Amino acid sequence: MDRIDRKFTQLDVDQEIYKYISKNMDVNQVYDREKLYALKQSFEEYMREKENAGQRSKLEGGKEKPDYYFLSLKLKAIEDVIVKLFGANARTNIKKAYEKEMRKRILKSTKH
């Protein structure tokens, strides 16, 4: 489930990068404008494919795939058990630790 959801998190970051590039791109700064436009278009295609891959992994026919839905139910059940056994603070602390670890992994990623 994390691998699927991480695609959307990374896509959010990519979209912010794209907005910055689009806002600040000055074609007068480069010798080959066509190459610059091609690089920007390539990044657009990369983002589009990442979104499509995430959608294909998560959805089918506009609804969640059974595997993804089942995993999301299991995750919610685990959260409920944590709260019942250890309290809401434990759930919050576990989520923060998990998110910290995922950010660390994303930053270590060497892909694209």
- Residues 72 and 70: their CA atoms lie apart, in Å, by 5
Would the CA dihedral through 107, 102, 22, 48 be positive or negative? positive
Q: For residue 102, what are the contacts with CB-CB under 8 A and spacing of at least 6?
A: 2, 6, 9
Per-domain residue ranges of the chain:
2-108
The whole-model pTM stands at 0.70
94-106: pLDDT as tens digits: 999 988 998 888 7
24-54: pLDDT as tens digits: 999 999 999 999 999 999 999 999 999 999 9
pLDDT score of 69: 96
